[in-house]
Amino acid sequence: MYPNTYNYLLKIEYDGTSFVGWQYQINGKSIQEEIEKALSKLLSEKIRLIGAGRTDKGVHALGQYANFLSKKKISNKDKFLDSINFFLRKNLISIIEIKRKNKLFSSRFNAKERIYEYKIINRRANLSLENNKAWHIKKKLNINALNKGAKLLEGTHDFSSFRSSSCSALSPIKTMKSVKIKKNGCEIIIQFKSKSFLQNQVRSMVGSLKYLSIGKWSYTNFKKVFYSKNRSRCAPPAPAYGLYLKDVKY
């Protein structure tokens, strides 16, 4: 590492609708690629971003974080934010803030907690303003059943039932610090807190919670699926567009 290298942490917000996801992919544009191109142009050097989480295609972020190394010292943060956001605005990506960190800091490996939220609109009428921003469920959801299912997911468990077949995590065992249901009118937010998640875990848990809350599964069925550690027994995952990376704690 060069002695005059600076390490910067970005807080990022984006609409994931038109992207293949956070990470580089050959089949379309990614959020990582668009930000790297803008940073490289602005700083006149090749920039590589390290993201705190790899959101999938269509997933949004209110608080994604990524760090990068640069040979240039950024003294005027306001000017930097104005410039980088000028390049990114057409892509519906916003850099909310920038902080200088020590050279060994990693947005991925230094994260202590990741917070995801899943947004559901539970009503008969179609979505207008929330289209591609929430899962529209017409059938009435049982909030008591949702809360009961959420409580079961808390703690340290083997989450193989909610793990994508392409997941590269070394272990299916994760500790869910909390799973909370927040209801405001027809809007339901399911919030998940954990140090890390398996691929498709949140969407698979939400899909299964939906089956429980509409009565397709009993609580006993839900419990059996969870403890079976069998992905084939899981409900269909909830759509990507209702999922948000809310925040990352360091």
pLDDT in tens, 180-234: 999 999 999 999 999 999 999 999 999 999 999 999 999 999 999 999 999 999 9
- The residues assigned a catalytic role are 56
* Helix orientation angle between 143-153 and 201-213, rounded to the nearest 10 degrees: 140
Q: pLDDT tier at 3 (50, 70, 90 boundaries)? A: low
Per-residue pLDDT of 106-133, as tens digits, reads 999 999 999 999 999 999 999 999 999 9
Rounded distance between C-alpha atoms, residue 79 and residue 186, angstroms: 41
Query: Are the folds of 6-101 and 113-249 the same?
Result: yes
Q: How does the average pLDDT of the chain come out, rounded? A: 96
- The architecture in CATH of the region 6-101 reads 2-Layer Sandwich (3.30)
Per-residue pLDDT of 141-170, as tens digits, reads 999 999 999 999 999 999 999 999 888 899
- For 33, 69, 195, 205, the CA distances from 101, given in Å and listed in that order, are 22, 10, 20, 35
Domain ranges of the chain: 6-101, 113-249
pLDDT at 239: 97
What pTM does this model have? 0.95
113-249 folds as Alpha-Beta Plaits (3.30.70)
Q: pLDDT tier at 2 (50, 70, 90 boundaries)? A: low
**Cβ atoms of residues 204 and 163 within 8 Å:** yes
Helix (H) or strand (E) holding 86: helix 77-88
